[in-house]
Amino acid sequence: MRLQRLKVEQLRQFRAPFEIDGIEPGLNLFVGENEAGKSTLVRAIRAAFFERHRSSTVEDLRPWGETAAAPTVELDFMVGDTAFQLRKSFLQRKRCELKYGARTLDGEDAEQYLAELLGFSFSVKGASRPEHWGIPGLLWIEQGQGHIIKSSVENAADHLRKALDASVGEVASTQGDALIAKVRAERDLLLTPKDDKPRGELKRALDERDELQVQLAELDGRIEAYRRQVDQLAALKAEHALEQAARPWDALRLQQQAAEQALAASEVLAQQLDAEKASLQRVEERLQMVEQQLAGFEEDRRALAQREAGLSEAAQRLEAATAIEARRASEQTQAEAACGLTAAALERARQDDLRRDLAERAADADTRVRELDTLLQRAVAEQARIEQLRQQAAAAAIDPADVERLRSLAAELEALRIRQQVVATRIRFRLADGARVTLAGEALQGEGERMLTSAASIEIPGGHLEVVPGGDALGALARDEADARAACDALLQRCGVVTVADAEARLSGHRQALQDGAQAARTLASLAPKGIDALKADRVGLLARIEAVQQQMAALPVDDRAAGDQGMTASLAEVETRHEIARAQAATIGTQLAQATQARLVAHEQHAAAIREHALLQVRLGAADRQSREQDAGRQLLAARAERQALLASIASKSEAVAGTQPDILRQSVERFRRSADLAERAHHDRELEITRLNGMLQEAGAQGFEEARAALAVRLEATRRRQRELDLRARALHLLLERLEASRRERTRQLRAPLQARIDHYIRLLFPKAALEIGDDLLPGLLTRPAMQGNESGAVSELSHGAREQMGVLTRLAYADLLQEAGRPTLLILDDALVHSDTQRLDRMKRVLFDAAQRHQVLLFTCHPAAWRDMGVVARTIMRG
Amino acid sequence: MPRFLHTADWQIGRQYSQFPPDDGVPLAEARLEAVGTIARLATDHAVDAVLVAGDVFDAQAVSERTIRRLFAQLAGFAGPWLMIPGNHDAALAESVWTCARRIGAVPPNVHLALEPGVLDFAALGFVALAAPLTQRHTYNDLTEWFDTATTPPGLLRIGLAHGCVQGQLAEDIDSPNPIGADRARQSRLDYLALGDWHGCRRMDERTWYSGTPEPDRFRDNDPGHVLLVEIDAPGALPVVTRVATGRYCWRTLEAPLSVASDVEQLAATLAAARPSDVLSLQVAGEVDLPGLVRLREAIGLAEAGVRHLQQDLSALRLVPTAEDIAGLDADGYLGELIAELRDAQSQRTDPEAARVASHALTLLATLLLEGRGVESPA
C-alpha cells in the first residue's frame, strides 16, 4: 500500500483545507513543533479507515467551537497497481466514497470493503476501539504506544491469520474462520460456552424428558396399583362366591349347637350328681346319729358297771378313811400328854435357871462393891497428894526467865573474867624453898603464876614491888564486871536466892513438883474417871441392886425336889428342845387328824354320790321302752348303711360320666364354634363391603382411562427422548467439531512462527549483532538473548526498559509487515513520535532498521525532533498549522 | 351354509410411541376404522356372525370415549358379534368389559363371552365354544374343556380362543397362553378361530389365526386381513378366504449402500412408496457426499409422500472422496479434519465416539455445503 496524497479540512486545528501531496513510496519524514498538527494528521488517517462515517462518537474531529463543521479526510493510495481515492466526511455531512479502478463504493459498502482490504473491523456501537483495529492497529504506532506489542498482535490475530494463511507454504483453510464461527454459534445454542452444560433446546428436551419420565413413573405406579386392586378384587370375589356357596359359618353353628347339647346333658348329669352327693351327706349324718344313739346305749351299760365298781370302791375308801381318823385321834391324845409333861419340866427348868442367875448377879454386885471401896480409898489418897504437890510447887516457884537472865549474867561475868585474865599482867614465879614472898597479901611458894588485873604489891623480903597492869581495857572490863555483878546480885536478891546455882535448883524443884502433880492427877483420873463422887454413887447403886435381887430370889417358889434331882436336872435348852419336839409332834398329829377327818368326809360324800348315781343309772337302765328303742336304732343303722353304699356307687359312676363329658372343654368348644361362626360371617360381610368398595374405586379409576393416557404419555416421552438423543448427538458432534477446528486453527497459527522468526532475526541483527529475539507460539517476542561480557545473557522482552521494549515493538511490527507484504497484503507503517526513549547509539541502529524496512514498505514518520532524523536521506516535510 | 367373518387383535386404544404424534394418531384412528370396515364386510358378505378372537382392546383402562367409539363402529353389521377377551383385555374382576357394560356401551347384538362356555346360536345353525382369558396370563390350555363339551347334533361347533398354538409359532410370541396343537380335531370343532398372532396364518385345515385387521408393527407376517369362513355342514371342511382390510402398509426397507448406484436404487424405491405406507428405513454402509445429498433428498421426498417414514441412518457412514473435499473448498486444516472424522467414524474401539464422529462429519459437510456460496473479497 502506498499513500500518495492526504488532505484534511475542517478537522481539529485544520479548519482550512490542508494537503500533503507527493508522498514517497519509502520513508517519509514529517516534522513539526508540538501542536502543529502531526497527531491530528495521524488521527485523520485512522478516522478515515476505522470510524464509520455515520458515527456520532467522533466529536474530537470537530474544530473547537464549530458546530456546523463537517470534518473531511481525503486519501489517495495505491494497493498493488490499483489506485484508490477515499473521501470521507463526518458529523455535519456524513459521507464516504471510495473509488478504485472504474468502481465507486459508497457508505458502508466502501467502509466494509476497506476493512477487509486492510484487515480490521468496525465497532458495532460507539467509537472504534483498539480491538477493532486489526492489522493497521499493529502497523500504525500511536504516540507513546510503541512498546505495547502483545495486545496489538492479539487484536490483529484473526486478521493476521487470515492474511498470512496463504504465506505459510501449506494450504490453509479459506473458510475455516467462518466455519468455526458458525459451528460455535450452533454449538452454543445447545451447550453453555463455558462449562458445556446443556442449554436451549437440548436443555428443554432433557427437562421435558425427565418430567415425562416422572409422570410416566407415576402413572405406571397407579396402573400397577390398579392392576393389583383388580387382582385383589378377583381374589375377593372368588373367595366370596366360594364362601357364599359353602357357608362355613352354618357348619360352625351346627357344631356349636351340638356342643351346646352335649354341654346341657353334661350339666344335667352334674346336677344329679350334686343331688346324690347331698343325699349321701344326709345319710351320713343320719348314720352318725344312729351310731351315736347305739353308742349311748352301750355307754349306759358300761357306765352302770363302772358306777357299781365306783360305789364299792367309795365304800372301801370311806372305811379306810374312818380307820385312819381314829388312829390319828389316839395318837393325838398321846402327843398332847407328852407335851404336857415336857411343858412342866420346862417350867421348872426355867425357875432353876432364874434362880441361878439372880444368885450370880448378887455375887457380882457384891464383888463390885468391894472393888469400888478399894478404888475410893486410893483415889482419896491420890487427891491428898495432889494438894501437897501443888503447895510444894507453889513454894518453889521461880520465874524461869529470871533464871535464864541469871544464867546469861553468869556467863557474861565469866567472859569478862577471862578477858581480864588475858589482859592481866601475868606473874610467873619459881621460888626457892623458903623464900618469902607475898603478893597482895598472899604468900607465894614454889613455882606458879599469877594474874594481876589491878595494881598489886609484891612483898618481898626487903621491900615490896608495886605491880600496876597497864592499859584502859582492864579498867573498862572491871567496870563491865562490876555492872554485871550488880545486876546479877540484884536479880538474885529479887529471886530470893543466893547464887545462881540456887536459882537453878529452885527452878528444877518447882518443875518436879508440877510434874508429880500432873502424874498424880492422871492416876486419879484413871481411878475415878468420873470423879470420886461418881464412884460413891456407883457403890450406892450396886448396893440397891443387891437388895432387889435378894428380894426376887425370895419371891421364887420353893424348890420341892430332892436335892439330888436338882443336880440331875437337864439344861434348860435341852428341856426346851424336848418340849419343842413334843409340841411339834402334837401339832403334826393334829394336822394329820384334820386331814384324816377331811378325807373321811370326802370319802363319805363320794360314797353318797356313788350311791345316788348308781341308783339313777339303775333307774334309767330299767326304763320300759329302752329295749325297743335300741332295736329300732340297730335297724336304722343297717338301713342307712345300705343306702350309703348305694349312693356311693351311684356317685362314683356319675362322677366318672360327668368327667367323661369334659364340660369345660365343651364350654370352650361352644365359645369357639360360636366365635368362629361369627367371625366367618363377619369376614364374609366385610369381604362383601370390600368388594363393593374396590368395585367403586376401580370403576372410578378405570373411567379415567389411564392406560390409554399412559400410552399417550409414552408416545410423548418417546418423541422427547428421540429429540433429546438427536440434540445430544448434535451437541456432541458440534462440540467435537469446534474442538477440532479450533485446535487446527491454533496449530495453523503456530505454523506462522517460523517465517516471523526469520524476519525478526533479520531486524534484530541490525540492532544487536549476534543477538537473538525468540518468537513464541503466541507469535509475540519472548526471550531476548545478547552477547555479554561473559557468554550470553537472556531476558524476557517484557522485562526490558521502556526504550528497549519500544525498539522490540517496532522490530516486531516491521517483521509482521514483511510477512504481510510477502502474503500480498497492503502494508503501511506509521510512526508517530516513536523511539523518543532511545539513546543516540540505539537510535542510530533503529534508523538502520527503519531505513531497511522503508526499502520494502511505505513508512510515515512523524517527529518533533527534526535534527534526530536528519540522516535518513529524505527531505523532512514541515507541518504548519493551517 | 353358515358363513362367518373371523377377526381378532383389534387392539383398540393402541398408540404408537415410536412415532411422532402427528403420524401416530392417524395410525391409531385407522385401527378403529378397520372395525367399521369389518362391519361393512360382514354386511356385504351377509355372514351369520362375526367371530372376534380376543384383544379387542389394547388395555384395560381405556377411556370411556374410546370404548364408546369402538362399539359405535359395530353399527355397520346388525348380526351377532361374538367376542372373547384376550390377554390385553382379559375378563378380570374389573376390566374394560365391566366398564363397557356399566356405561351401557355394548349393543345387544354383541355377545361377550366373559366366562368359558357354550353360546347357543341354534337358530343360525351353530354353537360357539368360547375360551376367554380371565387372567392376564395363564399357563393352562383354556380350550381343553372343548374336548368334552357336548353340543346338540346338527349344529356347527365353532371354537373361539386367544393364545399360542403350542409348538408351531416362533418363540417371541405375545403371550404364554397355550392352546393345544390339535385342538380342533380333538374337540371335533368345525372351525377354531384364534387370536393373538397378528399375522394371518393357517395352522391346520380348521384352525386359523386371522391376524390383526390393521397392521401395527414392522413385521412382515401378512397382517391386515379378516377371514371369511364358509362351512357347508357340520364336519365339512371350512372354506377360508382372506379379505384385505388394512389401510396402512407397514414395510421395512433395509438398504446396504456401497456403490453410488445403490443410492439411486434406494431413491427409486422410496419414490415408489405409496401414501398408505408406513416405512422403516434402515440404511447402512458408506456413501459419498453427493450420495448423502441425494439420499437426503430422496428421504425428504418420501417423508412427504408416505404416512410415516422412520429412518435409521446410524449405520451409514459418510465417506467423502477427495473430489468431495475439493468441491467443498475444504482446503487446509478443514480437509485434514474431514479425513480425521472419516477415520474416527470407522473405528471400532469406541462405538459412541464413532457415532459422534460420524454425525460431526455429516454436520461439517452440511455446513460446508451451505457455506459454499460465501465469497471472500480478497
Q: How far apart are CA A102 and CA A45, in angstroms?
A: 24
A769: Cβ–Cβ under 8 A, 6 or more apart, which residues? none
Residue B162 has a pLDDT of 92
Q: Hey, is the C-beta of A715 within 8 angstroms of any chain B C-beta?
A: yes
Where are chain A's structural domains? Answer: 2-163+753-878, 399-421+471-495, 425-468
Write down the pLDDT at residue A707: 79
Read off the pLDDT of residues B202-219 as tens digits, 9 standing for 90 and up: 989 999 999 999 988 887
Establish if B340 touches chain A: CB-CB under 8 angstroms. Answer: yes
pLDDT of residue B329: 67
Amino acid letter, A835: L
Distance (Å, rounded) from C-alpha B66 to C-alpha B12? 8
pLDDT at B107 (0 to 100): 93
| pLDDT of B351 strictly over 60 | yes
**Of the ranges A205-209, A362-366, A397-401, which is most confident?**
A205-209
Chain B interface disruption, residue of A734, A740, A745, A747, most B CBs within 10 A: A740
Residue type at position A294: L
Among chain B residues, CA nearest to A728: B356
CA distance A397 to A510: 6
Instruction: State the cell numbers at A622.
Output: 330299767
Q: Does B115 touch chain A (CB under 8 A)?
A: no
pLDDT digits (tens, 9 = 90+) for A43-101: 899 888 888 888 888 888 888 888 888 899 999 999 888 999 999 999 888 999 999 98
Would you state the pLDDT for residue B83?
A: 94
∠ CA B246-B252-B257 to the nearest 5 degrees? 155
- Cα A835 to Cα A840: distance, rounded to the nearest angstrom: 10
Which pLDDT tens digit goes with each residue over B218-234? 877 788 899 999 998 88
Q: If contacts are CB pairs under 8 Å, which of residues 4-43 in chain B contact chain A?
A: 13-21, 24
> Cα separations (Å) of B122 from A533, B78, B184?
190, 18, 20
Q: How confident is the model at residue B378 (pLDDT cuts 50, 70, 90)?
A: very low
Asked if A740 lies within 8 A of B341 by C-beta distance, the reply is yes
- State how far residue A174 is from chain B, nearest Cα, in angstroms: 7
* B154 or A396, higher pLDDT: B154
In angstroms, the CA A696 to CA A843 distance is 104
Instruction: Give the per-residue pLDDT at B375.
Output: 34
Contacts of B340 in chain A (CB under 8 A): 740
Question: Does the model's ipTM exceed the 0.90 cut?
Answer: no
Residue A728 has pLDDT above 60, yes or no: yes
Beta carbons of A231 and B336 less than 8 Å apart: no
pLDDT recorded at residue B37: 93
What's the mean pLDDT in A408-412? Answer: 87
Architecture per CATH, domain A2-163+753-878, reads as 3-Layer(aba) Sandwich (3.40)
Chain A residues with CB-CB distance to B91 below 8 A: none
Q: Is the pLDDT of residue A322 over 60?
A: yes
B219-273 pLDDT, tens digit per residue, is 777 888 999 999 988 889 999 999 999 888 888 888 888 887 888 888 888 888 8
Q: Calculate the alpha carbon distances from B332 to A169, A845, B46 in Å.
A: 11, 40, 76
Note the pLDDT tens digit of each residue in A517-554: 888 888 888 888 888 888 888 888 888 888 888 888 88
For residue A310, pLDDT beyond 80: yes
Q: What whole-number distance in Å separates Cα of residue B11 and Cα of residue B224?
A: 13
Tell me, yes or no, if B114 comes closer than 8 A to chain A by beta carbon: no
pLDDT score recorded for residue A170:
45
Least confident of A403-407, A424-428, A852-856, B138-142: A424-428
Residue A175: pLDDT band with limits 50, 70, 90: low
Give the SS3 label for residue A373: helix
Map out the domains of chain B with their CATH numbers: 3-244 (3.60.21.10), 249-373 (no CATH)
Report CB contact under 8 Å: B360, A734.
yes
Burial letters B256-266, b for 16+ CB under 10 A, else e? ebeeeebbeeb
Query: What whole-number distance in Å separates Cα of residue B87 and Cα of residue B195?
Result: 10
Which set of grid coordinates corresponds to residue B327? 468441491
**Edge to edge, what strands does the sheet with B225-230 contain?**
B110-112, B81-84, B49-53, B3-7, B225-230, B239-244
Question: Given this model, what pLDDT does residue B372 score?
Answer: 61
Q: Do B66 and A708 touch (CB under 8 A)?
A: yes
Gap between the Cα atoms of A325 and A599, Å rounded: 9
The residue ranking higher by pLDDT, A714 or B21, is A714
Between chains, do A711 and B61 touch, taking CB under 8 Å as contact? no
Chain-centre distance for alpha carbon B350: 35
Top pLDDT among B19 and A273 is at A273
Q: Which residues of B touch A118 (CB under 8 A)?
A: none
* Interface membership of B334 toward A (CB under 8 Å): yes
Give the nearest partner residue to A729 out of B333, B355, B367, using CB atoms. Answer: B355
Q: What cell was used for A314?
A: 367309795
Chain B residue nearest residue A700, CA to CA:
B99
pLDDT digits (tens, 9 = 90+) for B82-113: 999 998 888 888 888 988 898 898 999 999 99
Residue A562 has pLDDT above 60, yes or no: no
Give B275-296 pLDDT, tens digit per residue: 888 888 888 888 888 888 888 8
Chain A nearest C-alpha distance from B31 (Å): 14
Find all residues with CB under 8 Å of A417, minimum gap 6, and list them: A481
Q: What nine digits make up the cell of B249?
A: 402398509
Look at residue A560 in the predicted model and tell me its pLDDT: 61
Taking the whole predicted model, whether its pTM rises above 0.90 is answered as: no
- Count of C-beta atoms within a 10 Å radius of residue A469: 18
A73-A74-A78 Cα angle (round to 5): 135
Q: Quick one: pLDDT at residue B25? A: 84
Summarize the confidence of residues A375-399 as an average pLDDT.
86
Tens digit of each residue's pLDDT (9 = 90 or more) over A205-235: 899 999 999 988 998 898 888 888 888 888 8
Q: At residue A174, does pLDDT exceed 60? A: no
- Asked whether A156 and A819 are in contact (CB, 8 A), the reply is no
pLDDT of B376: 30
Of the pLDDT bands very low, low, confident and very high (cuts 50, 70, 90), residue B192 is very high
Gap between the Cα atoms of A844 and A846, Å rounded: 5
Q: And the C-alpha cell for A574? A: 435341852
Measure in Å the smallest separation between the Cα of B132 and chain A Cα atoms. Answer: 16
Compute the residue count for chain B: 378
Dist. CA B167–CA A26, nearest whole Å: 99
What are the distances in angstroms from CA A868 to CA A841, A844, A851, A853? Answer: 11, 9, 14, 18
Cα–Cα distance list, A522 to A257, A514, A518, A624, A696 (Å): 142, 12, 6, 119, 156
| pLDDT for the residue numbered A233 | 86
Shortest Cα distance, chain B CAs vs residue A670, angstroms: 38
Indicate if the pLDDT at residue B136 is higher than 90.
no
Enter the C-alpha cell of residue A137.
Answer: 492497529
CB-CB contact of B299 with B273 (8 Å): no
Is residue B173 very low, low, confident or very high in pLDDT (cuts 50, 70, 90)?
Answer: low
Average pLDDT, chain A: 85
Nearest alpha-carbon partner for B184 in B163, B165, B202, B207: B207
Which residue of chain B has the CA closest to A706? B61
What the block records as the C-alpha cell of A219 is 402413572
Which distant-in-sequence residues (6+ apart) come within 8 Å of B287 by Cβ? B257, B263, B295, B316, B317, B318, B319
In the β-sheet with A772-775, what is the strand arrangement from edge to edge? A772-775, A781-787, A792-796
Rounded alpha-carbon distances, angstroms, from residue A526 to A349, A382, A390, A519, A628: 43, 11, 19, 11, 118
DSSP string, A62-121: SPTT-TT---EEEEEEEETTEEEEEEEE-TTS-EEEEEETTEEEEHHHHHHHHHHHHT--
Instruction: Evaluate whether A711 touches B59 at the Cβ level (below 8 Å).
Output: yes
Give the residue among A251, A252, A243 at the shortest CA–CA distance from A671: A252
Answer yes or no: do A172 and B360 touch at CB < 8 A: no
DSSP output for A593-630 = HHHHHHHHHHHHHHHHHHHHHHHHHHHHHT-TTHHHHH
Q: Which three cell numbers stand for residue A790?
A: 561473559
pLDDT of residue B239: 93
Please count the other Cβ atoms lying within 10 Å of the Cβ belonging to residue B65. 10
Does A733 touch chain B if contact means CB atoms closer than 8 Å?
A: yes
